[in-house]
Amino acid sequence: MKTITTTEDLAAFCQEAAKRPYVTVDTEFLRERTYYSKLCLVQLAYQDDKGADAALVDPLVEGLSLEPLYALFRDQGCVKVFHAARQDLEIFYVDAGVIPEPLFDTQVAAMVCGFGEQVGYETLVRKIAKSDLDKSSRFTDWSRRPLTDAQATYALADVTHLRDIYEYLSARLAKSGRSKWVAEEMAVLKDPETYQSDPENAWKRVKTRTQSGKFLAIVRELARFREDYAQSRNIPRNRVFKDDALVELASTKPLSENDLGRSRLLLREARKGDIANGILAAIKAGMAVAPKDMPKVDGSRAKLQVNPALADMLRVLLKAKTDDAEVATKLIATSADLDALAAGERDVAALRGWRREVFGNDALELCEGRVGLAVKGQKVITVAL
């Protein structure tokens, strides 16, 4: 088992990996006590007819630079293979502004290949690699050193089995002509905006029961302050104050530290000092927002006149089409997308790219009354009207 602890050894491994058609990548990290993930381990493996190798990279070793790894990520001749890549990619983007290219996510590919909704790595290992994983080390503290043998074995399995999974899925995609489908899905993962947390829009994640502009203006300012504070100190946003406390503050509008002391939900440490000052300033700023600048909730979907019968028929059609294509239904359209289609909306993902080929064209025909649904044997089919 190889553990890389120097920049020179990492460079040598990455140079060898760059000669191969692909390299599998995984990470272990901690995020419970920080805003940004703390990278604790990187796992790498490659394999081709010239041989195979795998290694653990310890980024916590003083003096080790990940630049050789980032150079590999930029190498267009080597595919970087991940499973459920979103959080891994965020780490690398935040650290160095790097997004691996070309990129392949086996979770997305498995959904395209009929393995179900957001299939787990353990399931793919069992079904494709015909092996079992020891998950006992999954929730251990990856920042502690030295790593145990069990941790190292677990971590390495996350990239060694991934080689078999990638080769199986990529071959299946090539045979079915669906490689371009996965390539389209990679666009979101390769978009830098996916990993950028803008404090200005943080309020949109907070669930509220009112659409009052005045109330939302205070929510926006409180959420913006919380996001800025959490990012600048690299602490979880819930350590500043939680969503339920934010909504309470927006409702009660405290104007002094004494007022904050009467909050039922605010953490004790948030009732004084920098956080308290930030809260009071945010509430003051929110209350001063002019009506024209107050945030508005997008209520367009809520106002849609959904044809419930058509929405139900679209659900039946989606199930039939995804069963035929052996594609996860969630990858094609959400329930909200189907309701939007049934209300006459046409700006939905199901009508774009490969989704239109699988489902969208028939969905439009159904919406416009040109086809109906019928049962033939065990299948639901479309029939011209």
Whether residue 24 sits in one domain with residue 84: yes
Whether residue 308 sits in one domain with residue 282: no
Domain boundary (161, 177, 195) is at: 195
pLDDT at residue 303, rounded to an integer: 62
The CATH number that applies at residue 114 is 3.30.420.10
Q: What is the number of domains present in the chain?
A: 3
Comparing CA positions, the residue from 325, 335, 316 lying closest to residue 381 is 316
Domain boundary (156, 174, 195) is at: 195
Whether residue 131 sits in one domain with residue 24: yes
Comparing CA positions, the residue from 351, 285, 362 lying closest to residue 318 is 362
Asked if residue 226 lies in contact with residue 246, where contact means CB atoms within 8 angstroms, the answer is yes
Is 136 within the bounds of a domain? Answer: yes
Domain boundary (195, 218, 248) is at: 195
The CATH number that applies at residue 307 is 1.10.150
Whether residue 132 sits in one domain with residue 15: yes
Is 263 within the bounds of a domain? Answer: yes
Whether residue 152 sits in one domain with residue 6: yes
The CATH number that applies at residue 211 is 1.10.150.80
Whether residue 213 sits in one domain with residue 152: no
CA torsion 369-371-376-379 (nearest 10°) is -90
Give the type of residue at 365: E
* Residue 374 backbone phi and psi in degrees, to 5: -145, 160
Buried b (16+ CB within 10 A) or exposed e, 314-323: bbebbebbbe
Whether residue 187 sits in one domain with residue 43: yes
| Tokens coding 14 | 């990455």
Is 295 within the bounds of a domain? Answer: no
Whether residue 20 sits in one domain with residue 57: yes
Distance CA 109, CA 309 (A): 33
Whether residue 159 sits in one domain with residue 19: yes
Cβ atoms within 10 Å, residue 103: 21
Whether residue 325 sits in one domain with residue 206: no
List pLDDT tens digits, range 74-87: 999 999 999 999 99
Whether residue 106 sits in one domain with residue 70: yes
Residue with structure tokens 């927002």?
289
Is 296 within the bounds of a domain? Answer: no
Give the type of residue at 42: V
Which residues in the chain land under pLDDT 70? 298-303
Is 214 within the bounds of a domain? Answer: yes
Whether residue 309 sits in one domain with residue 280: no
Asked if residue 320 lies in contact with residue 379, where contact means CB atoms within 8 angstroms, the answer is yes
Is 94 within the bounds of a domain? Answer: yes
Range of the domain at 305: 301-384
Is 294 within the bounds of a domain? Answer: no
Helices and strands in the chain: count of H runs, count of E runs: 17, 8
DSSP-derived letter for residue 165 is H
Q: Is the dihedral of CA 62, 158, 44, 71 positive or negative?
A: negative
List pLDDT tens digits, range 284-330: 999 999 999 999 876 555 567 889 999 999 999 999 999 999 999 99
Beta partners for 55? 44
